Amino acid sequence: MEEIVLCAASSYEQKFYLNPQFTALPETIRQELQIMCVLYTEDVGGILMVVFDEDGCLQLKVEHEENDFAFDEIGSVLKIKQLQQTKRELFEALELYYRVVYLKEELPCS
């Protein structure tokens, strides 16, 4: 199994993409993801992708064009760390959703 893109935003095309497989997510979650991705690309530049790896872990991946001198590499690293902290609950909930709905894992007992 390979990575599954949940959503992505590009500062080059000024577009946001949500994988159609995830349209069942609540509207508020989809909006939060869109705002997060678009603000990131407006602030730092490049392309931000939110992907699930083969284990169902959520990862933030950043790409930028080689000749993009406006891309803020240091700002990118700092912004990713900030998102991982401030959006931790959202990311954990999305991982649980993905594992149960797509990987067909059992819900852990609490």
Domain ranges of the chain: 4-101
Q: Write down the pLDDT at residue 108.
A: 67
Average pLDDT, the chain: 94
Q: How far is CA 67 from the centre of its chain?
A: 24
Contacts of 82 (CB under 8 A, 6+ apart): none
DSSP3 helix / strand / coil % (the chain, rounded to 5): 45, 20, 35
Query: Which residues have a Cβ under 8 Å from the Cβ of 95 and sit 6 or more positions away?
Result: 52, 56, 57, 58
pLDDT score recorded for residue 110: 60
pTM value is 0.92
36-90: pLDDT as tens digits: 999 999 999 999 999 999 989 999 999 999 999 889 999 999 999 999 999 999 9
> Mean pLDDT over residues 97-101, rounded?
93
Q: What is the pLDDT of residue 2?
A: 86
- Decide: 56 and 93 in contact? Cβ < 8 Å: no
Band of residue 107 on the pLDDT scale cut at 50, 70, 90: confident
